[in-house]
Amino acid sequence: MVEDDASDAELIKHALRKDGLLFTVERVETSEDYLQALDQEPPDVILSDYALPTFDGYTALTLAQKMHPEVPFIFVTGTMGEEVAIETLKNGATDYVLKIRLARLAPAVHRALRETRERADRKRAVEQLRQSHEQLRALSVYLQHVREEERMRISRAVHDELGQALTGLKIDLSWLSGRLPRQLNALITKAREMSSHIDETIQTVRRISTELRPGILDHLGLVAAIEWQANEFQTRTGIECKVAHALNHTIMDENLNTVFFRIFQETLTNIIRHANASRVETDLYEEEGRLILEVRDNGRGITREQISNIKSIGLLGMRERAALLGGDVKISGTPKKGTKVTVSIPDAATPRANKRHHENSYSRRSRSGTTWFEANSRR
């Protein structure tokens, strides 16, 4: 309580007691005592006169705001003009009560305490929500990582162990058929059939291994893997798929490669399933220390509702993957013109060049130096 008049202080305490409040009061008159009191332990509520001989309520309010903004501050004053009252409320005062209307004080204190409690509860709830969101995100990072590791492991095991075992079988079979007497025609034919069967199985093993995780991604880098995937896509779907890039370094960062590659795959899957497109254009370039992948199709165009639909798990997964590395995914669509997906992720290896200079050099490159890689169909 900031109050210089002892009898006013008694009246104030009386008003609070009458309402059944249990409390202790520390009364101060000077700014030194006030600061010391605030320093020791923040009170539950501050009641302050406005005009004091050596101190003033406005300064008291400012100091309280600075030191304990969560503590409610109520002016209890003999006079306070309406304008001053509004001004103090704007500056953070909780309420003001005139000394001639002390009956209002206890309700004002009750309300202030309740609001403070609610604010604290809300703050706690927001904090808990934030924490649980963070935990979920960490879990999602972990799951993605584990899944990718597992795929890599299975892919290698399938490729190396099954692949080698099959190759061994093929060699043995060829040894065996070389020693079959010429007159045993039926056996020779059978051996030939078995051999071609083994060849097909080797192809299947390769395909399964590559679908799990293309080795090209880890051995030749992102650009090669994107081009390979575009090629596969074109062969499989008949939808023209072009890749252009303007990168002057090979992207070999495992996490970055995984994120870009998986988002690219999800984008292509969406194009097959939803776009009804006849052509896909992909650009890979760097800008301002970020690596950017842009995929445009000429299909029906994704709608605003589909983009913001919380049930769009595929899109959510793409965004989460990019967010893991501090990046983002922008999606836009124009009806009957197509859909554009832009993935942008910071890349430590990408030079953070002067913007203007960089833009110039990129546009120069894309006019002359960039080549469109026609994905050549195997069919």
Ligand X SMILES: Nc1ncnc2c1ncn2[C@@H]1O[C@H](COP(=O)(O)OP(=O)(O)OP(=O)(O)O)[C@@H](O)[C@H]1O
The residue from 314, 326, 351, 369 that contacts Mg ion (CB under 5 A) is 314
Query: Among residues 94, 144, 258, 270, which is the contact residue for Mg ion, using CB under 5 A?
Result: 270
267 near Mg ion, judged by CB under 5 A: no
Separation CA 278–CA 271 (nearest Å): 10
Q: According to CB under 6 A, which one of 48, 144, 298, 339 is a site residue for ligand X?
A: 339
Nearest to 260 by CA among 293, 221, 304, 231: 293
Contact, 319 vs 328, CB < 8 A? yes
Q: How far is the CB of 39 from ligand X (least distance, A)?
A: 55
Burial annotation 280-294 (CB, 10 A radius, 16+ → b, else e): bbbbbbbbeebbbbb
| 108 or 271: CB nearest Mg ion | 271
Instruction: Find, among 234, 312, 244, the residue nearest to 268 by Cα.
Output: 234
Among 156, 300, 352, 358, binds ligand X (CB under 6 A): 300
Q: Which is nearer to Mg ion, 238 or 314 (CB)?
A: 314
Which partner from the list ligand X, Mg ion, none does 227 bind, CB cut-off 5 to 8 Å by kind?
A: none
Which of 48, 299, 319, 350 is in the footprint of ligand X by CB under 6 A? 299
Taking CB atoms, the residue at the shortest distance from Mg ion is 314
Total interface residues for ligand X by CB under 6 A: 15
- What interhelical angle do 313-324 and 254-270 show, nearest 10? 160
| Under 8 Å between Cβ of 212 and 151 | yes
- Contact between 270 and ligand X per CB under 6 A: yes
- Does 212 sit near ligand X (CB under 6 A)? no
Taking CB under 6 A as the criterion, the residue among 222, 223, 241, 275 binding ligand X is: 275
- Residues 244, 284 contacting (CB under 8 angstroms): yes
Structure tokens at 17: 């007691």
Could you tell me if 28 and 41 are in contact, meaning their C-beta atoms sit under 8 angstroms apart? Answer: no
CB of 294 to ligand X, least distance (A): 13
**Cβ of residue 187: shortest distance to ligand X, in angstroms?**
50
CA atoms of 237 and 221, how far apart (whole Å) = 24
Q: Which of residues 303-332 bind ligand X (CB under 6 A)?
A: 306, 312-315
What's the rounded Cα separation, in Å, for the pair 328 and 19? 57
* Cα–Cα distance measured from residue 230 to residue 310, given in angstroms and rounded to the nearest whole number: 29
Tell the smallest beta-carbon distance from residue 362 to ligand X (Å).
26
Between CA 304 and CA 331 the distance in angstroms is 9
> Binding ligand X by CB under 6 A: which of 16, 109, 226, 271?
271
- Please report, as ranges, the residues that interact with ligand X according to CB under 6 A: 270-271, 273-275, 297, 299-300, 302, 306, 312-315, 339
- Please report, as ranges, the residues that interact with Mg ion according to CB under 5 A: 270, 314
